[in-house]
Amino acid sequence: MGKPTHFWGFIFLTFASFTPTGTSAECSRAALKEAITEYIKASTAGNPSLWTALTSNASYTENGEPVNITKGILSQALKIDHSRRFHDATACASLTELIVTDPIKPYVIHTRMLFDTNNATTKVHTVEALVTILGDWAFNATGYLHWNSLENWDPIPVSKRDDREVIKAAGDAYFDRWNDTSVEIPLGTPCARLEGGAYTGLGDLESNTCNLGGFPSTIVVKNRRYVVDEEMGVVSIFMEFPGLDRTVPDRAAPDSHIFRVQGGRVRYIHTVSHCFAYRCGMTGPVPGSGAD
């Protein structure tokens, strides 16, 4: 298996799209928003019981591994500095991005939820949390918060929104290119990429591009799980990153990419990746990560 190609010191770091089991109709954005609000309250309090939208038999994983929700990250009271929420009413799914800069226990967390609408209320039946900490790829929660604060993630005006298929295709093209050099990724200009805490948008913010060259050419990205929010112009892709962790090159690392698409082209990329070993076995400094 080929290893990812480096460029500018970074490594390009999210099941096929599916409708949650038992879901026969779209969800309301209001119900998805309410469930996420409860999730954030539970995370702030460190009390999973406050998350009443969660079904009693919900599947819960952290970094791809089953975890007892009462012993995982939800059992820790988090001082959340920033949250961003995406709602997929068509697939009854959501994605939440949390940034915690607590100097003792900093985190950047991407949480994907799937909802079941068989009952009168919308309930969460599947939760995938990608919890990154110091030692994960390019991790720097303070940097992540800073660069994030400079970006504009306002809702896309109705007249300028892309179709769901266009948004999803932009994210797929990014990963398809890793195994097919003929694929053209619709990267915009400007475009900026936030990776764990490292940022590509350090120069002229109006002319930056995410097309820095050196994309992988032999990496097959499978098991992609999607959340698409047309209002925000976002596709979130959870996946496993082959070859990222050098200590276990045959074991794909849990990874999440968020793509902001405007006018059919990628404007922002946010990505977090979990390492099995410290910094995925990389020696020397990881550019922009703050980890020595």
Domain range annotation of the chain? 6-17+144-281, 29-139
Per-residue pLDDT at 129 exceeds 60:
yes
- pLDDT value at residue 6: 38
Per residue in 179-221, pLDDT (tens digit) is 999 999 999 999 999 999 999 866 666 667 887 667 888 999 9
Type and span of the H or E element at 207: none
Query: For the chain, what percent of residues have pLDDT higher than 90?
Result: 76
- pLDDT value at residue 17: 37
Comparing 6-17+144-281 with 29-139, is the CATH topology the same?
yes
Nearest Cα to Cα of residue 33 among 62, 53, 19, 57 = 53
Architecture of domain 6-17+144-281: Roll (3.10)
Model confidence band, residue 25 (pLDDT cutoffs 50, 70, 90): low
- pLDDT value at residue 200: 82
- Distance separating alpha carbons of residues 274 and 256, to the nearest angstrom: 9
Q: Is 140 exposed, middle or buried (0-12, 13-18, 19+ CB in 10 A)?
A: buried
Please report, for residues 91, 175, 207, 248, the alpha-carbon distance to residue 251 in angstroms, rounded to integers and kept in the order given.
29, 18, 37, 5
Model confidence band, residue 10 (pLDDT cutoffs 50, 70, 90): very low
pLDDT-wise least confident of 15-19, 180-184, 275-279: 15-19
- pLDDT value at residue 259: 99
Per residue in 216-274, pLDDT (tens digit) is 889 999 999 999 999 999 999 999 999 899 999 999 999 999 999 999 999 999 999 99
Mean pLDDT of 105-127: 91
- pLDDT value at residue 283: 82
**pTM for the whole structure:** 0.88
What percent helix, strand, coil does the chain show, rounded to 5?
20, 35, 50
Per residue in 45-89, pLDDT (tens digit) is 999 999 999 999 999 999 999 999 999 999 999 999 999 999 999
Per-residue pLDDT at 3 exceeds 80:
no
- CATH no. of 29-139: 3.10.450.50
Strand-pairing partners, residue 226, are 237
Query: For the chain, what percent of residues have pLDDT higher than 70?
Result: 84
